[in-house]
Structures are given as structure tokens and as C-alpha cells.
């Protein structure tokens, strides 16, 4: 590191000389102007705004060359660990709150529409179809849980044929794609009936850590943050003419809700009561659980219009 950089690394922006500030601002202006001829106006806006904010960050913290190199190494490591079943950049976006902020901007509240939350890194597009009342758990370990509800629009009209994707971790905190045996468990899709009703068997959600054996995990450890997520069950609901909903529901009473969800995904309206059922209590569909205890919950889904 040069002596000049070393001597100025702790200076606040207002403490640098006017001459230095002018040099730095000139570079910002030059880089911003380099995108002036971008034909796509939205791309031009994105690149020029990104440039201004990135340079503002560098100047505000007086970024050192060592810190710049560490940042490049961090992003390189995130790229190396990312594959078809793990998306480290989504994890990074999640733990920085960028995912939730993007969701907030793009899913503004509309009447009684169900609130959206983070997508997460473990959705897959080819989950098997099950009938209403089917079981998404497969061989995944955990307490059986009956989930039921309706899909309606914001005017209260049933939405028949809505595609409902559901996925969750097992009781050990792992999604099927995190195992190496190519199992498909804890995920499926189904369709609402002519009255907008749906129901399925899943597992009672439990807290689990996001993958923290990579660069994002190291960042959380270095900053004293927990990787643990509040207990939840993922949903993605699509229907013609209505806004696609990506959300999940949380378990009332889970202490992680108060401690803090590692990706900031909890919303009060999405906290649901999961009622414990004693062993031997009859199930809604007559399923024989061989004397096991089970739980049940209700989640009524309200979809906003596609154009709001």
C-alpha cells in the first residue's frame, strides 16, 4: 500500500483536501459519463446509479487496497461455491436484506393480499405434483403436519386451479437438494380445487441455519450474526391474471422470531398457529399415523391483481 493511501485511510470525507475531493469526483463523473451512450434507458439508469453509489461507498469508508482485494476474494469464493443446488449470491443478498428490500419494492401492499417474503436458494422447478390431501414430505424426517386453506383474490372470489408450490427443510434443517443421494422430499406442487381450496401433508417447520460453510457464513461469524432462520414453510402461488406470490409461513411461538431471522423474512401476518394434535387423534383425511403426534395449521392465501 502506498504511503498516501496509508495516511488517508482513516480520514472522513470532509477531512480530505479540496484538491483530493476534486480528483475523486472527477473520476466519478468520468465513469458515469461513460454510460451516456447506452441505448437502453433503464440499463443506463441502473449503471450510472450503481456507479455513483459504489464510488460513494468507497469514498465514505476510505476503502483500502487490502479491503478491496478482500472483497474481490469474497466474491470469487462465492462464485466458486455456487452450483446448480446452491446459490451463494442469493444467500448474500438475503443476509444483507437486499432480497427483502427488493420484494418490498415490487410487492406493494394491496388491500388484503398476502404479504410476500424471500424466495430462498432451495427452490427447484421440477417438484412432483400431488393431489389435494397428498404428502409433500416423502421420506423426509419430521412431525407430520396438515396444512389447509383457500386461494382467493382480493375481492374474496375463489381462485380455482392456482398452482401452489411448497417446499421445506426436514427436522434436521436440510433441504433435499443438500443431500447427495438425489432424493426428492419436502417439496411438491398441487392445484387449488374449483372452490379455491387446497390441503396437503407436510412437516411441522423447525429452525435451521442457512448454509454457513462458505463465504457468507464466514461473514456472519465475523460480524457476530447467527445464520439460523426462523421455522418456516415456503409457498409460491401462481394463477392467471394475478400477481405471483412468493412467501412462507412461520410458526407462532418460535423463539427465533423474537431473536431475529437471519434473512429478515418474518412478517407478522405470516406467523401462523401450528396446533399440536395428540397421538391417536383422528386426522382430517383419515390417515393412519400409527400413534404419532401431529400438527395442523391453516393458511388462507389472497392474491393481488397482476397489475397494481
Tens digit of each residue's pLDDT (9 = 90 or more) over 122-156: 898 999 999 999 999 998 999 999 999 999 999 99
* Comparison of pLDDT for 84 and 114, the residue scoring more: 114
Q: Which three three-digit cell numbers place residue 147?
A: 396444512
Structure letter (DSSP) for residue 18: H
CA distances from 116 to 107, 247, 266 (A): 7, 5, 10
pLDDT of residue 219: 98
| pTM exceeds 0.95, yes or no | no
Separation CA 189–CA 244 (nearest Å): 15
Give the whole-angstrom CA distance, residue 106 versus residue 299: 22
- Output the nine-digit C-alpha cell for 28: 466519478
Residue 290: exposed, middle, or buried by beta-carbon count in 10 A (0-12, 13-18, 19+)?
exposed
Tell which wins on pLDDT, 139 or 284. 284
Domains contained in the chain, CATH given = 3-63 (no CATH), 89-303 (2.60.130.10)
Instruction: Indicate whether 85 pLDDT > 90.
Output: no
Confidence grade of residue 35 (pLDDT, cut at 50, 70, 90): very high
Position 224 scores a pLDDT of 97
Residue 221 has pLDDT above 70, yes or no: yes
What is the arithmetic mean of pLDDT over 165-176? 95
pLDDT at 84: 82
pLDDT surpassing 60 at residue 213: yes
Sheet bearing 271-272, strands edge to edge: 187-191, 163-167, 232-238, 245-251, 271-272
Q: What is the mean pLDDT of residues 98-106?
A: 95
Tell me the pLDDT band of 308, cut-offs 50, 70 and 90.
low
- Classify strands 275-277 and 271-272 as parallel, antiparallel or unpaired: unpaired
Decide if pLDDT at 2 tops 60. Answer: no
pLDDT for 178-205, tens place per residue?
899 999 999 999 999 999 999 999 999 9
What is the structure's pLDDT at 8?
Answer: 47
pLDDT reading at 13 higher than 60 = no
In angstroms, the CA 190 to CA 201 distance is 12
Residue 4 confidence (pLDDT)? 38
Give the pLDDT score at 10.
59
Amino acid at each position: 500500500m502506498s504511503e498516501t493511501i496509508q495516511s488517508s485511510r482513516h480520514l472522513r470525507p470532509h477531512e480530505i483536501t479540496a484538491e483530493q475531493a476534486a480528483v475523486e469526483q472527477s473520476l466519478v463523473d468520468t465513469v458515469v459519463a461513460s454510460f451516456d451512450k447506452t441505448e437502453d434507458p433503464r440499463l443506463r439508469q441502473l449503471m450510472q446509479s450503481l456507479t455513483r453509489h459504489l464510488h460513494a461507498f468507497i469514498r465514505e469508508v476510505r476503502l483500502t487496497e487490502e479491503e478491496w482485494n478482500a472483497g474481490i476474494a469474497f466474491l470469487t469464493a462465492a462464485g466458486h461455491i455456487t452450483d446448480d443446488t446452491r446459490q451463494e449470491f442469493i444467500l448474500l443478498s438475503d443476509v444483507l436484506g437486499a432480497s427483502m428490500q427488493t420484494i418490498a419494492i415490487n410487492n406493494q401492499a394491496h388491500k388484503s393480499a398476502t404479504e410476500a417474503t424471500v424466495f430462498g436458494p432451495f427452490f427447484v422447478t421440477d417438484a412432483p405434483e400431488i393431489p389435494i390431501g397428498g404428502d409433500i414430505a416423502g421420506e423426509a424426517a419430521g412431525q407430520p403436519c396438515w396444512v389447509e386453506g383457500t386461494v382467493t383474490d382480493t375481492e374474496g372470489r375463489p381462485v380455482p386451479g392456482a398452482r401452489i408450490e411448497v417446499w421445506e427443510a426436514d427436522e434436521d434443517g436440510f433441504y433435499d437438494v443438500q443431500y447427495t443421494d438425489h432424493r426428492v422430499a419436502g417439496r411438491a406442487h398441487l392445484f387449488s380445487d374449483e372452490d379455491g381450496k387446497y390441503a396437503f401433508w407436510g412437516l411441522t417447520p423447525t429452525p435451521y441455519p442457512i448454509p454457513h460453510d462458505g463465504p457468507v457464513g464466514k461473514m456472519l461469524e465475523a460480524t457476530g450474526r447467527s445464520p439460523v432462520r426462523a421455522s418456516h414453510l415456503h409457498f409460491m402461488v401462481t394463477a392467471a391474471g394475478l400477481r405471483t406470490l412468493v412467501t412462507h409461513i412461520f410458526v407462532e411461538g418460535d423463539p427465533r422470531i423474537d431473536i431475529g431471522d437471519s434473512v429478515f423474512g418474518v412478517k407478522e401476518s405470516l406467523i401462523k398457529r401450528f396446533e399440536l394434535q395428540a397421538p391417536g387423534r383422528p386426522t382430517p383425511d383419515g390417515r393412519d399415523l400409527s400413534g404419532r403426534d401431529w400438527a395442523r395449521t391453516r393458511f388462507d392465501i389472497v392474491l393481488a391483481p397482476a397489475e397494481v
